Amino acid sequence: MTPDTIDQIFVITKHWLLGYVPSALQPIVSAILSVVPILVVFPLLFAITTVLERKGLGRIQNRYGPNRVGPYGFSQPIADGIKSLTKEDVIPRSADQVVHFLAPLLLVLAAFLGYAILPIGRNMVIVNLNAGLLYFFAIGSMVELAVFMAGWSSRSKYSLLGAMRAVAQMISYEIPLVLASVVIIMATGSLSTVAIVEQQAHYTYSLPHWFVFTPWGFAGFLLFMVAATAESNRSPFDLPEGESEIIAGYYIEYSGFKFALFFLGEYLGMFATSGLAITLFLGGWSAPFSFLTWVPSYLWFFLKLLVLICVFIWIRGTLPRLRQDQLMNLAWKFMLPMTLINIFTAALWHFMPAGILRWIACTALLVIPCIALSRGLKQGKKLQVRTYRFAE
């Protein structure tokens, strides 16, 4: 078993299985064989992430996480799954039945569709679209519609309020998300995720060519991660679903399996955007050092995904929740200018000759506006005497 065979084991298995199928059915069987592993692996990863998150948050907060079910509590997702399946499905009588039913389905559908263009390993992408990145952002915009449907159909004030906040937040952060990845499109000249990863899979003196190791790539990565955290409604941007504030916001009227579907959709969205961040900035399935390329490519992808998930959990345990206006200010007044400056910096990097000068110039061009914007935004926040305006 050469390292190459282990690396391509899934591709080889799929081709071998396809040999047994008559050629008329081969396209559809090929599609099924590509899609089924995604449908199996990522919900499993979701189950592991829920228990990791609860135990991780527990340890961060100086307590044990769940440790009763299974060895050290790691079978907790099984118990959670049984609970959510057997809970009574309560639907408010005045709720819009059809829309109420379809909202979680649309969310999970949009979340799953996002995996179609992620290259999980070498030659392991479901479909290599020429406009793959555009497809991902188009699918991401369907999530907002699902969130709105969920909040509207419950016909409850809290859910409607939560839905409005959630949609406003997701729309605002979609722009920095897309603009942060525009830098990558500029650098690689292609919208295809496979091409982007392949451009990063080269090594100079055993160091990789990942885009995160350039000033504009690093800034783009940070901006992308912040926008991705906001897009999946995750702490510290989880005001729409803040448990202590609006009691779960737009999915307050959902119980049992539909609630679990919302949870699943949210986490799947988080994995998909993390996967995209890995593809765009962290080199996809390529190894960090050239002497480590014998490790299979899919293992690297999942390792990087696990690291990003741990970072998400870490940030969730650390930062307090942002208020709605602080959220929006961050998106429009800080991140949008920063992404535009980042694009300009990336262009400068492209046109300057290689050397220490372009490192200094680009870093300065990114750091100075960042500091200026944050200090400038803080200036206007002097504490004032509160004045009240009463309704006439």
Binding status of residue 94 toward another protein by CB under 8 A: yes
Residue 81 contacts residue 43 (beta carbons within 8 Å)? no
Binding status of residue 139 toward another protein by CB under 8 A: yes
**Residue 77, CA distances (Å) to 56, 74, 80, 87, 109 in order:** 15, 7, 5, 15, 21
Q: Which of 124, 164, 184, 219 binds another protein (CB under 8 A)?
A: 164
* Least separation in angstroms between CB 138 and another protein: 4
Q: Which of 34, 84, 128, 190 binds another protein (CB under 8 A)?
A: 190
Binding status of residue 380 toward another protein by CB under 8 A: no
* Least separation in angstroms between CB 91 and another protein: 13
Residue 224 contacts residue 277 (beta carbons within 8 Å)? yes
In whole angstroms, what is the distance from residue 374 CA to residue 272 CA?
29
Counted residue by residue, the chain has a size of 392
Q: Which of 19, 189, 353, 355 binds another protein (CB under 8 A)?
A: 189
Binding status of residue 70 toward another protein by CB under 8 A: no
**Residue 326, CA distances (Å) to 43, 175, 333, 377 in order:** 33, 17, 10, 11
Binding status of residue 202 toward another protein by CB under 8 A: no
Binding status of residue 59 toward another protein by CB under 8 A: yes
Task: Name which of 11 and 142 has its Cβ closer to another protein.
Answer: 142
Residue 102 contacts residue 91 (beta carbons within 8 Å)? no
DSSP string, 232-286: TT-TTS-GGG-TTTSTTGGGTT--THHHHHHHHHHHHHHHHHHHHHHHHTS-TT-
Site track for another protein across 313-342, x = CB under 8 A: -xx-xxx-----------------------
Task: Name which of 41 and 99 has its Cβ closer to another protein.
Answer: 99
Task: Name which of 14 and 155 has its Cβ closer to another protein.
Answer: 155
In whole angstroms, what is the distance from residue 354 CA to residue 341 CA?
20
In whole angstroms, what is the distance from residue 337 CA to residue 340 CA?
5
Name the one range near another protein by CB under 8 A: 71-79, 129-137, 250-258, 259-267: 129-137
* Least separation in angstroms between CB 5 and another protein: 34
Residues at the site binding another protein, with contacts judged by CB under 8 A: 56, 59-64, 67, 94, 96, 98-99, 129-131, 134-135, 137-142, 144-145, 148-149, 152, 155-157, 160, 164, 167, 171, 174, 189-191, 314-315, 317-319, 370-371, 374-375
